[in-house]
Structure 1
């Protein structure tokens, strides 16, 4: 009767064979913690890449919208392109960790069939992940291209 009562009152002793299980939870945690942390860091990196991809897209659209709403002529073409690139860089500079050296923008113009100017802006940003994952690139090239018709 005494051994049965001891098995019921001691929660760390297995009732069938009386074997202690004190270290089971610590062992399971030690095995699963690296897996859980790797999964957590992977989720954070994926979220950061997605966030930056959206930011690059928005910045590119902002620059292209400026190009579509402001007239381009042979007199102001350099200032016009500089302003578009400045707007893109300003939009991205609001993000934490922005590195201007990783940003590049290309601006192209052409006339469509109705003799309306089409403004195309291509922006790319070299994004670096937190962790250098084996088998995956540490630097991800995020690029976006937008074309707007110039407003009359």
Structure 2
């Protein structure tokens, strides 16, 4: 008889005793009828391998959709950022124009300075090309009831040609402010 060394645990002592008794039965020794556990383990291992293959197929199906969504989000973010920059540049030009009114003698220096203010505000946009920026400055009347109108437009190009969206869009904003001085 085999001595079990499980101290203090009655369940492990019983398991040791049962295992020792099964080893000593002559019929189980000769026919090798002890239960094998690797049949159950191989089925679970096969199920895990099959599930791993299914996950790879699902990932292959979903990956292109995720890439298109990521590219669309990036293009939309760039468009929104450029649109906000065009709006801010238009406001900066009109803000300068409403504080510094001009007349026929100072119109050239006013136009140059106002366009410089627009370009300065717009220069934070990545990939900014000043030759593509269009600025139109007009005066509607004279001070004290006059207004300054600044129209800014800039072309936006998408990174990906989407097919259903034009690849080049002109973003335009116009700001009109009253002359303060």
* Normalised TM-score (structure 1): 0.86
1:150 equivalenced with 2:179 (yes/no) = yes
**Going by fraction, where is helix more abundant, 1 or 2?**
2
> Which piece of structure 1 moves more, 29-38 or 86-95?
86-95
* Aligned residues between the structures: 145
Determine if contact 1:102/1:125 at 8 Å carries over to the other structure: yes
1:2-151 equivalence runs, <5 A:
2=37, 3-8=39-44, 10=45, 12-13=46-47, 20-111=50-141, 116-151=145-180
TM-superposed CA distance for 1:135, in Å, is 1.5
Distance 2:101 2:149 in 1: 14
TM-superposed CA distance for 1:5, in Å, is 4.4
Structure 1, unpaired ranges of 5+: none
Structure 2, unpaired ranges of 5+: 1-35
Q: Kindly name which structure, 1 or 2, has the bigger radius of gyration based on alpha carbons.
A: 2
* Normalised TM-score (structure 2): 0.73
Determine if contact 1:105/1:123 at 8 Å carries over to the other structure: yes
**Going by fraction, where is strand more abundant, 1 or 2?**
1
List 4+ stretches of structure 1 deviating above 4 A.
Answer: none
